[in-house]
A and B are shown apart, each in its own frame.
Chain A
């Protein structure tokens, strides 16, 4: 069945260091979304990628969708303490009604 794997599970960085989380699907995705969940909060939509090889930027965040539309990454440049939280990818394929969430990467940023 559809699976979306996300690594790493945890990442501890020093403020100012870069951070990357990766998402891999067992099947081709029609699109992929990224969400951020702050500690004690709820997931909040960040971005959606649709096209093969698509790259989108939001300030220090760079999102990529692989050429085969099976993988995606989120890269944060020069992390800040406000980046702390869990980042989830959510892939959709075939049946458009289901979002398959990755297990999330929990980012901790030490000041």
Chain B
């Protein structure tokens, strides 16, 4: 158990809908990262937050948005869903925000299926 909690584990929805994925980082971790993993693919970096502020952005679509709340949990919002958005979405947390040995601790992921 990494200590990172992601909910829900599975989500089935229809095209055009909007969903919210939730992540609670490990206790004490200030950084939260979101990654998308399509079937048998690598990890595509979406976005990072550090202590409530957006720190870095990757290949995140305009239909997607995220935020980190004062209690450090994070939510990833996916809207106007398309079939191609079906993927496993991972959240990862770490202690540090910059430099050093910054290990990423991954949650178990949310499997999103868009039908």
Within 8 A of B (CB), among A40-68: 41-45, 48, 50
Majority-rule SS of B interface residues: loop
B71 at the interface (CB under 8 A from A): no
Q: Measured between alpha carbons, how far is A102 from B41 in the docked complex, in Å?
A: 10
Pick from A42, A44, A90, A96: contact of B98, CB below 8 A. Answer: A96
A108 at the interface (CB under 8 A from B): no
Q: Is the CB of A45 within 8 A of B105?
A: yes
A19 at the interface (CB under 8 A from B): no
Q: What 0/1 readout, one digit per residue, does chain B (75-103) give for beta carbons within 8 Å of chain A?
A: 00000000000000010100001110111
> CB-CB < 8 A to A33: which residues of B?
103-104
Taking residues whose C-beta sits less than 8 angstroms from the other chain, chain B's interface range is 20 to 34
Majority-rule SS of A interface residues: strand
What residues make up the interface of B, taking CB atoms closer than 8 Å to A? 2, 33, 35, 40-45, 48, 50, 55-56, 58, 90, 92, 97-99, 101-109
Q: What 0/1 readout, one digit per residue, does chain A (78-111) give for beta carbons within 8 Å of chain B?
A: 0000000000101000011111111110100000
Q: Is the CB of A101 within 8 A of B42?
A: yes
Q: Measured between alpha carbons, how far is A33 from B103 in the docked complex, in Å?
A: 8
Known: A95-B56, A97-B56, A98-B58. A45 touches B103 (CB 8 A): yes
Q: Is the CB of B58 within 8 A of A48?
A: no
> CB-CB < 8 A to A43: which residues of B?
43, 90, 92, 104, 106
Known: A42-B107, A43-B106, A106-B40. A97 touches B58 (CB 8 A): no
Pick 21 A–B contacts, CB within 8 A, sort by A: A33-B104, A41-B108, A42-B2, A42-B109, A43-B90, A43-B106, A44-B106, A45-B103, A48-B101, A88-B42, A88-B43, A96-B98, A96-B99, A97-B55, A97-B98, A98-B45, A99-B104, A101-B35, A103-B41, A103-B42, A104-B43
